């Protein structure tokens, strides 16, 4: 623990700390560009030069390790001269285009030039010109002459995103930042490079020339997409969301955002935004005022209830809805006598319902994931479903965390995965059972009786061997596991495994309120129907909250059928969408930026937020709409003054932890056979199709991750079916069919076809798992 | 993509480093690839990247950093004249001028008959012998007076 003195102040720092670390700890600001606390040290900008006693030349603070007794001066004449000289060099080639630069006002070079630059340049020669590049729809590289070659963007790719897509080509005067010969940057975390770039070289394409930073108000919010609950700074101008930036929260998103969190705001004001209540009268839509519309809803619901009974009413809510919305919808349904409400729209297996001790959750804090030394991930499209959890594990893997994977596809996770077992979806339980058995044998513990007949293969043995040597292990069930037809069995097995290992176990969770939905009791009550059952046995009336059933439900075909067959559909949504085809009333509600609300993330963290702009047009926060509706229907207990009041009725933040519990009781282990006849579907939900907002973000929709779904198959399967990659094929599930292109992925197991769900191109197909057939078109 | 012969040579280079540091062989691998192909096309760099388990862009960084690598086709011979400051002060630029005159091409150009490509190089660590030039990336020539340059040119077929 060396001690040193900086600008006359003493401090003791850990071994290996740099002068920059020490200065930061003292709150002394040293000018810098290439240094970033989350990235490796490059020491290439030289802006951080300081004077070190007895050193023969100025030293870069970011790369100089502290030694005992060091005396550092950051503001001495000597240091200042060095810093000013560096600034003069940096500005030699930097264009003087601040007035038309998007970074103007939030540019580190601009800021530091004020302090360290000269008012006029001595450089009279020609400045160099660097050509612009096109690396995709999100990050703009239009003005690369501004680049100061700090390589933050390059290091971000290598170190955080796990894929080096940008690099520095050439050297000296000819150095420039490029992607490999014109390729695009496809990382799901690419937007962070914009934040990292200290100058206006990398800027946001969607935000470009939209506003000046000082015109924007900064408001806090929480991401409604994945279950991490990333903290956001939403920047607004004239009541419009202009841009979204990360709000640093070391325990969740650190200083990053996924591109989904960052660019989804473009979908908020999409063309099909619903801004006025609408009624369908005699098959024609017309705008209505709230009073009329709500009266029509109340009347419609009452009619169905009197004619067909309350059990014919059903409610489906997206897990991206706020806690308050989910709770009030449940309360409303129960108030009119129906127990049919669910938010788990993509779930298939509900056998765990009523067997749960509490709400299923991550089983630990998000930050704890970084501290695990062994991890088993079961059934997860990790990078696409949980981009920042993946990044957290990537960092941990570099420090020695052993990541094991059991999954149905073998997408590159851009981290070291020590063992993986890639099996067809129906074989996931069997594979996990093998691991349980192998671990039990290693630990010399009794093997659970139902696993007696399971044969343990090498893949399982390897995973077991890795897990067995851990001191701090986590077993996680991903989205595919949660949506699996044997989800409960997978969970039982995971629990069994965790029990043997003394490990933490939990669900990554699909959406912002996948935990919250349980706490809000947006699940069927006694005798009620779950999401799948409500579609399998169509109801006479549906209340839809924030949801597009044909894209959000596990079985879009059943959903569409049910919506068309029913008498009365009320869509509470921010968008018109397909509701135009089947709804009777559309009520415009506010997306997360226009309402107050709460999300409970995977770790059970309750995060409340306020609206950052006023609702668009006549849209209203859904909790208020439901409140009025509750009163109109004469249900007791709907007199809330604020969303906080609703929230407090559900749980206070400190009460959440007690309600989280992954345990199941009263379900027996029963491992389905690993082999089945016929092809099985593996369905991922592409990252930019996960919910109604991202589906409408124009920029995200132009990325390669949003490409049209294809039917991915192993080469051997293509051959067997007489198909060629690229050819159009007809895919069938039951009586549903879709035409897509075939594609080849030899990392897929045989016997299955990967075809994305949540996408309009596959909305005529059946469930996300099960039999599927492919034939030439 | 590359011949069995080249791959064997690359494998020998790889063997010089610990298994998890395969990428240390990138400089040699690119040189071997260039020996075979004459220059480094995008696909060649892509192949080398894959072979060494590197990001293609990381290979490109290396290939574009050193001017011994050619990212576009060159003539049968390549002359790289050092024009960095020490050389420039002792006749490097004049030597380059002389070559330009004799060959009738400028930097980064190839004679019409495809015989010689002229390039400008960075310090070759032989400033004391200025003017300095490299023939075909591998042969170093020092103290290149105009006479010696003329002789060299006559040698190159
Ligand atoms: S583009 Fe920006 S982040 Fe990347 S090297 Fe240049 S200045 Fe640094
Ligand atoms: S910040 Fe230290 S050299 Fe760039
Ligand atoms: S400057 Fe030419 S060899 Fe050093």
Q: Verify whether the Cβ–Cβ distance A167 to B65 is below 8 Å.
A: no
The answer to whether the CB atoms of B58 and A171 lie below 8 A apart is no
Query: Which pTM does this prediction carry?
Result: 0.94
Q: Is the CB of B87 within 6 Å of ligand 3? A: yes
pLDDT of B157 over the 90 cut = no
C-alpha–C-alpha distance, residues A690 and A96, integer Å: 42
Closest CB to B61: pick one of A165, A168, A181.
A168
Tell me if A151 CB under 6 Å of ligand 1: yes
Q: Domain ranges in chain B?
A: 4-65, 77-155
β-bridge mates for residue A281, sequence order: A284
Determine the distance separating the centroid of ligand 1 and the alpha carbon of A64, expressed in angstroms: 22
| Shortest-distance Cα residue to atom 3 of ligand 1 | A197
Q: Given an 8 Å threshold on Cβ–Cβ distance, is B55 in contact with A167?
A: yes
- Give the span between the Cα atoms of A489 and A436, in whole angstroms: 12
Which residue in A170, A171, A180 is closest to B57 by CB distance? A180
List, as one string, the DSSP characters of A281-320.
ETTEEEE--HHHHHHHHHHHHHHHHHHH-GGGEEEEE-TT
pLDDT of residue B1: 86
- The pLDDT tens digits for A133-167 are 999 999 999 999 999 999 999 999 999 999 999 99
Q: How many CB pairs under 8 A join A and B?
A: 36
Which pLDDT belongs to residue A420? Answer: 96
CA-to-CA separations, A201 to A101, A103, A131, A149, B95, in angstroms, rounded:
9, 8, 11, 10, 39
Nearest CA to B54 among B79, B91, B23?
Answer: B23
Distance (Å, rounded) from C-alpha A162 to C-alpha A472? Answer: 24
Q: A44: which chain B residues are within 8 Å (Cβ-Cβ)?
A: none
Cα–Cα distances in angstroms (integers) from residue A66 to residues A21, A37, A80, A319, A460, in the given order:
9, 17, 20, 50, 47
CB A290 within 8 A of CB A276: no
Q: Tell me the percentage of chain A whose pLDDT exceeds 70.
A: 100
CA A58 from chain center: how many Å? 44
Nearest CA to ligand 1 atom 4: A153
Distance A397 CA to ligand 3 centre (A): 44
pLDDT for residue B119? 94
| CB-based contact A204:A195 (threshold 8 Å) | no
Assess contact for A468 and A439: CB atoms under 8 A.
Answer: yes
What ipTM was reported for this prediction? Answer: 0.89
Mean pLDDT of the A8-17 span = 95
Q: Give percent of chain A above pLDDT 90.
A: 97
Token pair recorded at residue A663: 């345990």
- Buried residues in A90-124 as b, exposed as e (16+ CB within 10 A): bbebbbeebeebbbeeebbbbebbeebbeeeeeee
With a CB-CB cutoff of 8 Å, which residues 34-63 of chain B face chain A?
A: 42, 46, 55-58, 60-61
Would you say the CATH fold of B77-155 matches that of B4-65?
A: no
Burial of A53-73, coded b for 16+ CB within 10 Å and e otherwise, reads eeeeebbbbbbbebeeebebb
Q: pLDDT digits over A566-617, tens only?
A: 999 999 999 999 999 999 999 999 999 999 999 999 999 999 999 999 999 9
From ligand 2's centre to the CA of A618, what distance in Å?
52
Which pLDDT value is given to residue A173? 87
8 Å CB contact of A180 and B65: no
Output the pLDDT for position A180.
Answer: 87
pLDDT at A181 over 90: no
For residue A662, is pLDDT > 90? yes
Q: Is the backbone peptide bond immediately before A676 cis, with ω within 30 degrees of 0? A: no
The residues, any chain, with a CB within 8 Å of residue A486's CB and separated by 6 or more, are: A349, A428, A429, A672
CB atoms within 10 A of CB A239: 12
pLDDT, one tens digit per residue, over A53-67 is 999 999 999 999 999
CATH architecture of the domain with range B77-155: 3-Layer(aba) Sandwich (3.40)
Q: Please list, in sequence order, all residues whose beta carbon lies within 8 angstroms of the beta carbon of residue A118, skipping any fewer than 6 positions away.
A: A84, A88
- Identify the pLDDT of residue A16: 93
Euclidean distance between CA atoms A730 and A711, whole angstroms: 9
Q: Cα(A559)–Cα(A532) distance, rounded to whole angstroms?
A: 9
- Rounded CA-CA distance A335/A356 in Å is 24
**pLDDT given for residue B127 in this prediction:** 93
Q: In what order do the strands lie in the sheet with A240-246?
A: A217-222, A231-237, A240-246
Rounded to an integer, the average pLDDT of A543-556 is 97
Closest CA to A138 of A106, A173, A186: A186
* Paired tokens of B83: 């024009």
Is A578 near ligand 2, meaning CB less than 6 Å away?
Answer: no
Task: Measure CB to CB from residue A180 to each of B56, B65, B122 and give the nearest one.
Answer: B56
Q: Give mean pLDDT, residues A484-501.
A: 97
Task: Convert the pLDDT of each residue in A675-701 to its tens digit.
Answer: 888 999 999 999 999 999 999 999 999
What's the confidence (pLDDT) of residue A527?
93
Ligand 2 contacts CB of residue A229 (under 6 A):
no
Residue with tokens 């059933």: A549
Chain A residues touching B56 at Cβ < 8 A: 180, 183
| Three-state SS letters, A176-218 | EEEEHHHCCCCCCCCCHHHHHCCCCCCEECCCCCCCCHHHCEE
Residue A38 above 90 pLDDT?
yes
Starting from the CA of residue B95, give the closest ligand. 3
pLDDT in tens, B8-65: 999 999 999 999 899 999 999 999 999 999 999 999 999 999 999 999 999 999 999 9
Q: Over 90: is that where the pLDDT of A414 sits?
A: yes
Give the residue among A390, A365, A375, A357 at the shortest CA–CA distance from A602. A365
* Ligand nearest to the Cα of B91, by number: 3
How many whole angstroms from A155 Cα to the centroid of ligand 1? 10
Does the beta carbon of B132 sit less than 6 angstroms from any atom of ligand 3?
yes
Count of residues in chain A:
777
The pair of three-digit structure tokens given for residue B21, joined into one six-digit string:
């540091």
pLDDT band for position A222 (cuts 50, 70, 90): very high
Q: Kindly report the average pLDDT of chain A as a whole number.
A: 96
Q: CA-nearest residue of chain B to A184? A: B57
What tens digit of pLDDT does each residue of A254-292 get?
A: 999 999 999 999 999 999 999 999 999 999 999 999 999
Helix, strand, coil share (%) of chain A residues, nearest 5: 35, 20, 45
Contact across the interface for A180 and B55, Cβ inside 8 Å: yes
User: Is the CB of B150 inside 8 Å of chain A's CB atoms?
Assistant: no
What separation, in Å, do the N-terminal and C-terminal C-alpha atoms of chain B show?
Answer: 29
**pLDDT tens digits for B73-107?**
999 999 999 999 999 999 999 999 999 999 999 99
Q: Which atom of ligand 3 is nearest to the CA of B126?
A: 3
- Give the model confidence (pLDDT) of A84-134 as tens digits: 999 999 999 999 999 999 999 999 999 999 999 998 999 999 999 999 999
Find the CB nearest A167 among B42, B46, B58.
B58
By C-alpha distance, the chain B residue nearest A179 is B57
Nearest ligand to the CA of A198 is 1
Burial of B22 per CB tally in 10 Å (0-12, 13-18, 19+) = middle
Partners of residue A403 on adjacent β-strands: A375, A417
Ligand closest to A149 (CA) is 1
Ligand 1 pocket test: which of A194, A202, A203, A204 has the largest number of ligand atoms within 8 Å of its C-beta?
A202
Task: Provide mean pLDDT across the span A633-652.
Answer: 96
Query: Which pLDDT score, from 0 to 100, does residue A234 have?
Result: 98
Give residue for tokens 């996960």.
Answer: A690
Tell me if residue A276 falls in helix, strand or coil.
Answer: coil
Mean pLDDT of A14-23: 96
Q: Closest-CA residue in chain A for B121?
A: A171
Please list every residue in chain A whose beta carbon sits closer than 8 Å to the beta carbon of residue B55: 158, 163-165, 167, 180
* Best to test chain A binding among B48, B64, B120 (most A CBs inside 10 Å): B64
CATH topology of domain B4-65: Arc Repressor Mutant, subunit A (1.10.10)
Contacts of A163 in chain B (CB under 8 A): 55
């Amino acid at each position: 623990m060396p001690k040193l003195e900086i600008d006359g102040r003493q401090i003791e720092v850990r071994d290996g700390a740099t002068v920059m670390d020490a200065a930061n700890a003292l709150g002394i600001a040293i000018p810098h560009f290439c240094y970033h606390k989350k990235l490796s040290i490059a020491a290439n900008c030289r802006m951080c030069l300081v004077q070190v006693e007895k050193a023969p030349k100025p030293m870069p603070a970011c790369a100089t390790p502290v030694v005992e007794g060091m005396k550092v001066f950051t503001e001495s004449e000597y240091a200042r001269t060095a810093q000013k000289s560096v600034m003069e060099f940096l500005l030699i080639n930097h264009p003087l285009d601040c007035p038309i630069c998007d970074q103007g006002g939030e540019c580190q070079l601009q800021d530091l030039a004020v302090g360290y630059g000269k008012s006029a340049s001595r450089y009279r020669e020609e400045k160099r010109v660097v050509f612009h590049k096109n690396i995709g729809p999100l990050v703009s590289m239009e003005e690369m002459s501004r680049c100061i070659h700090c390589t933050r963007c390059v290091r971000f790719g290598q170190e955080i995103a796990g894929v080096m897509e940008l690099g520095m080509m050439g050297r000296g005067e000819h150095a420039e930042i490029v992607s490999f010969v014109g390729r695009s940057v496809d990382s799901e975390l690419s937007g962070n490079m914009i934040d990292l770039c200290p100058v206006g070289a990398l800027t946001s394409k969607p935000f470009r020339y939209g506003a000046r930073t000082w015109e924007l108000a900064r408001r806090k919010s929480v991401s409604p997409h994945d279950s991490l609950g990333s903290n956001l700074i939403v920047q607004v101008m004239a009541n419009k969301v202009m841009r979204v930036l990360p709000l640093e929260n070391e325990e969740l998103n650190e200083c990053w955002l996924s591109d989904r969190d960052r660019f989804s705001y473009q979908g908020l004001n999409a063309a099909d935004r619903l801004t006025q209540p609408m009624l369908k009268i005699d098959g024609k839509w017309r705008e209505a005022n709230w009073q009329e519309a709500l009266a029509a809803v109340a009347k419609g619901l009452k009619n169905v209830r009197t004619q067909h009974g309350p059990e014919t009413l059903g409610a489906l809510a997206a897990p991206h809805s706020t806690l308050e919305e989910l709770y009030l919808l449940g309360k409303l349904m129960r108030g009119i006598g129906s127990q049919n409400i669910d938010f788990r729209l993509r779930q298939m297996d509900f056998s765990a319902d009523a067997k749960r001790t509490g709400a299923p959750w991550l089983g630990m804090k998000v930050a704890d994931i970084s501290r695990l030394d062994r991890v088993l991930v079961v059934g997860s499209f990790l990078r696409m479903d949980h981009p920042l959890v993946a990044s957290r594990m990537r960092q941990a893997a570099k420090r020695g965390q052993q990541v094991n994977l059991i999954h149905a596809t073998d997408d590159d996770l851009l981290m070291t995965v020590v063992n993986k077992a890639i099996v067809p979806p129906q074989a996931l339980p069997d594979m996990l059972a093998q691991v349980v058995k192998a671990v039990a044998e290693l630990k010399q513990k009794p093997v659970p009786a139902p696993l007696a007949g399971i044969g343990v293969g090498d893949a399982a043995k390897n995973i077991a061997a890795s897990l067995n040597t851990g001191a701090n292990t986590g077993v996680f069930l991903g989205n595919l596991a949660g949506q699996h037809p044997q989800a409960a069995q997978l969970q039982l097995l995971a629990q069994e495994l965790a029990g043997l290992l003394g490990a933490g176990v939990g669900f990554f969770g699909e959406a912002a309120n996948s935990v919250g939905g349980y706490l809000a009791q947006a699940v069927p009550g006694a005798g009620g129907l779950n999401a799948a059952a409500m579609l399998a046995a169509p109801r006479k009336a549906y209340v839809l909250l924030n949801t597009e059933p044909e894209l959000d439900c596990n079985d879009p075909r059943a959903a569409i059928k049910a919506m068309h067959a029913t008498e009365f559909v009320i869509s509470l949504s921010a968008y018109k969408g397909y509701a135009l085809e089947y709804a009777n009333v559309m009520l415009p509600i506010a997306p997360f930026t226009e309402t107050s609300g709460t999300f409970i993330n995977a770790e059970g963290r309750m995060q409340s937020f306020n609206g950052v702009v006023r609702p668009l047009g006549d849209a209203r926060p859904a909790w208020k709409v439901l409140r009025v509706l509750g009163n109109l229907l004469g249900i007791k207990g709907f007199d809330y003054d604020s969303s906080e009041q609703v929230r407090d009725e559900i749980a206070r933040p400190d009460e959440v932890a007690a309600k989280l519990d992954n345990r199941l009781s009263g379900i027996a282990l029963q491992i389905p056979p690993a082999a089945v006849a016929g092809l099985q579907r593996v369905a991922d939900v592409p990252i930019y199709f996960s919910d109604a907002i991202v589906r409408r973000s124009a920029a995200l929709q132009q990325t390669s991750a949003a490409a049209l779904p294809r039917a991915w198959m192993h080469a051997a399967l293509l051959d067997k079916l007489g198909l060629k990659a690229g050819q159009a094929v007809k895919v069938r599930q039951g009586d549903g069919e879709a035409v897509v292109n075939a594609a080849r992925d030899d990392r897929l197991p045989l016997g299955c076809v990967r075809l994305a769900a949540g996408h309009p191109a596959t909305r005529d197909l059946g469930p996300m798992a099960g039999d599927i057939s492919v034939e030439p078109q | 993509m590359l011949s069995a012969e080249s791959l064997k040579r690359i494998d020998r280079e790889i063997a010089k480093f610990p298994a998890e540091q395969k990428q240390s062989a990138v400089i040699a691998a690119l040189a071997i690839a260039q020996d075979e192909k004459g220059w480094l096309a995008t696909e060649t760099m892509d192949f080398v990247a894959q072979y060494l388990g590197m990001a293609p862009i990381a290979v490109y960084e290396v290939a574009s950093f050193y001017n011994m690598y050619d990212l576009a086709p060159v003539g049968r011979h390549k002359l790289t004249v050092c024009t960095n400051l020490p050389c420039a002060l002792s006749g490097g630029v004049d030597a380059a001028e002389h070559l330009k005159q004799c060959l009738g091409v400028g930097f980064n150009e190839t004679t019409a008959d495809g015989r010689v490509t002229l390039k400008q190089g960075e310090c070759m660590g032989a400033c004391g012998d200025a003017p300095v030039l490299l023939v075909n990336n591998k042969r170093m020539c020092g103290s290149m007076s105009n006479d010696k340059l003329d002789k060299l040119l006559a040698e190159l077929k």
